[in-house]
Amino acid sequence: MTYEYDRENIFAKIIRGEIPNDTVLETEHCLAFRDITPQAPVHILVIPKGNYVNFDHFGAAASDAEIVDFSRTIAKITKDVAVDPASGGNGYRLIANSGRDPVQEVAHMHVHILAGRPLGRMLQKT
Ligand code: DGP
């Protein structure tokens, strides 16, 4: 299985500092920043700094340290923005669009954290 990673994708440029971003948290292996077109009061993107196309690429090829850091980063952000249910928050949704059917626009692995309003059921019927 091969993954073609485009080093000129917009998130690669953000990681290299060529495009500004509204950073929420940076760790050794991850960057989290606010989505440019927010769909909810809280809309944060979490990306690994490594060159991974999507979630299945990341899960298969990333190191244990990268994967742990990614999960811990999401958990920390949900606490920092006070949406985690354990702290009395109203909860959040994670979305990882990967490939065509879910319409992945940016071919660099990312997870959306959405929160701050009722988000409805998981999918709309079409
Ligand atoms: P997806 O469909 O899962 O690939 O979503 C990509 C998201 O990336 C989309 O919600 C808009 C966001 N986005 C695209 N370009 C930029 C950018 O230059 N800066 C930021 N902060 N977000 C961006």
Query: Could you tell me if the CB of 19 is within 6 A of ligand 1?
Result: yes
Query: Could you tell me if the CB of 9 is within 6 A of ligand 1?
Result: no
Percent of the chain predicted with pLDDT > 90: 94
Q: Would you say residue 27 has pLDDT above 80?
A: yes
> pLDDT category, 61, cuts 50, 70, 90?
very high
Instruction: Out of 29, 57, 108, 110, pick the active-site residue.
Output: 110
What integer best gives the mean pLDDT of the chain? 97
What integer pLDDT is reported at residue 81 of this predicted model? 98
Point out the ligand 1 atom lying closest to the alpha carbon of residue 107.
4
Which token pair is 121?
Answer: 């059921």
Residues in the chain: 126
Long-range contacts of 48-51 (CB under 8 A, 24+ apart): 48/109, 49/15, 51/5, 51/7, 51/12, 51/108
Structural domains of the chain ordered from first start: 10-115 (3.30.428.10)
Query: Could you tell me if the CB of 33 is within 6 A of ligand 1?
Result: yes
